[in-house]
Amino acid sequence: MGKYLIKRMLGIVFGLILVITITFVLLHAMPGGPFSREKALPEPIQAAIEEKYHLNDSIVVQYFYYMKDFLKLKLGPSYRKIGFSVNELIHSGFPNSAKVGMVTLLYIVLIGFPLGVFSSFKHNRWQDRLIMAVTTLGVTIPSFILGILIIYIFGSRLHWIPTHGLKTWKHYIGPVITIGSFSLAYVSRLIRSNMLEILQEDYIKAARARGLTEHRILFKHALTNTLIPTMAYLTPTIATILTGSFIAENIFSIPGMGSMFVESVGNRDYTVVIGATAIYALILFLMLFIADLVYSLIDPRIKLQNELRGEG
């Protein structure tokens, strides 16, 4: 187990460095720069700024300076938000995105899972058809359209929910539904299809023949095996919603990671883009690692020892 954990941690570090390197190269390959403007700065000022941030050095030298600071957990200064470091911007934006993301995850799991299970047990009945119709809408309506409709109908017209910020629990309703509705609908349909397939397996029929209750068959056998493909979908989804949705954050005026990332891309604020990308990659790698551990707990046939055979 110790060797496996060390191997995975090294893999995360290597993957993170690779993501940063690719992002760094792609950003510097783009035309223009963080201080390129329609009205050019005076040449002495432009030269002084580029020297201050090492932008007049070669890309290799710039990469060396960046990685030297990154290894100290310093993500550098923002080129466009003068006086702010990337660490400070992430520290102010990430909690907002994470709070919305956690509530969104609860929304997906607490509603999506029961809907999928219930739909599978009401297969081809009116309840199943109704759930499938609603979830079809959920996976087809773009999130930006859904967000605009929520603001117009429930915010501007009915005045049921606030339309910007995160001051009270009501402020979470709009962005959570906007971000999570697609995943909720997809998870419901995924669980339903997997449940229908698993309930037709021979071992389920054998369990029924042995007199096991439907409740035990559902939670002991069918639902357990359904969790693995569902986790495979939710793992990257969790990383995405925790680091912010630029659509929802812009529509509902939430100062989070998503809106910050989009703004920094438009401004060519290299350090902020790389920092936000690194945070997303780190959370994604950690979620994949946690998912592997969860798989081994859900299904006894999946053992970490299988990963260790290559080490022997």
Q: What is the C-alpha to C-alpha distance for residues 154 and 160, in angstroms, rounded to an integer?
A: 5
- The answer on pLDDT for 312 being more than 70 is no
Tell me, what's the pLDDT at 275? Answer: 92
- Joined together, the tokens standing for residue 217 give 């068959």
**177-191 average pLDDT score:** 93
pLDDT, tens only, 94-128: 999 999 999 999 999 999 999 998 898 888 899 99
The pLDDT-based confidence of 308 (bands split at 50, 70, 90) is very low
Q: What is the C-alpha to C-alpha distance for residues 114 and 302, in angstroms, rounded to an integer?
A: 26
Q: Which of 7-11, 30-34, 53-57, 268-272 has the lowest mean pLDDT?
A: 30-34
Q: What is the C-alpha to C-alpha distance for residues 181 and 125, in angstroms, rounded to an integer?
A: 23
Q: What is the C-alpha to C-alpha distance for residues 80 and 70, in angstroms, rounded to an integer?
A: 19
- Joined together, the tokens standing for residue 62 give 């710039």
Q: What is the C-alpha to C-alpha distance for residues 197 and 72, in angstroms, rounded to an integer?
A: 50
- Joined together, the tokens standing for residue 131 give 């759930």
Closest by CA position to 152, among listed 168, 137, 163, 144: 163
What angle is formed at CA 61 by the lines to CA 60 and CA 62, rounded to 5 degrees? Answer: 90
The amino acid at residue 6 is I
The pLDDT-based confidence of 151 (bands split at 50, 70, 90) is very high
**218-234 average pLDDT score:** 79
Q: Could you tell me the CA-to-CA distances from 236 to 241, 286, 297 in Å, in that order?
A: 9, 10, 19
Alpha carbon distance, N-terminus to C-terminus of the chain:
13
Tell me, what's the pLDDT at 309? Answer: 47
Phi-psi sector, 211: left (phi>0), alpha (psi -120 to 50), beta: left
Mean residue pLDDT across the chain: 84
Contact between residue 257 and residue 245 where contact means Cβ atoms under 8 Å apart: no
Tell me, what's the pLDDT at 135? Answer: 92
Tell me, what's the pLDDT at 37? Answer: 62
Helix (H, G, I), strand (E, B) or coil at 73: coil
- The answer on pLDDT for 53 being more than 80 is no
Closest by CA position to 78, among listed 70, 67, 89: 89
DSSP letter, residue 79: S
pLDDT, tens only, 24-42: 999 888 777 777 665 666 7
Q: What is the C-alpha to C-alpha distance for residues 213 and 92, in angstroms, rounded to an integer?
A: 51
The pLDDT-based confidence of 54 (bands split at 50, 70, 90) is confident
Tell me, what's the pLDDT at 206? Answer: 80
Q: Regarding predicted confidence, which is higher, 44 or 176?
A: 176
- The answer on pLDDT for 179 being more than 90 is yes
Tell me, what's the pLDDT at 182? Answer: 93
pLDDT, tens only, 201-218: 777 778 778 877 767 777
Count of residues for the chain? 312
Contact between residue 181 and residue 143 where contact means Cβ atoms under 8 Å apart: yes
Q: What is the C-alpha to C-alpha distance for residues 24 and 62, in angstroms, rounded to an integer?
A: 10
**228-249 average pLDDT score:** 85
Helix (H, G, I), strand (E, B) or coil at 38: coil
Q: Regarding predicted confidence, which is higher, 213 or 300?
A: 213
DSSP letter, residue 156: I
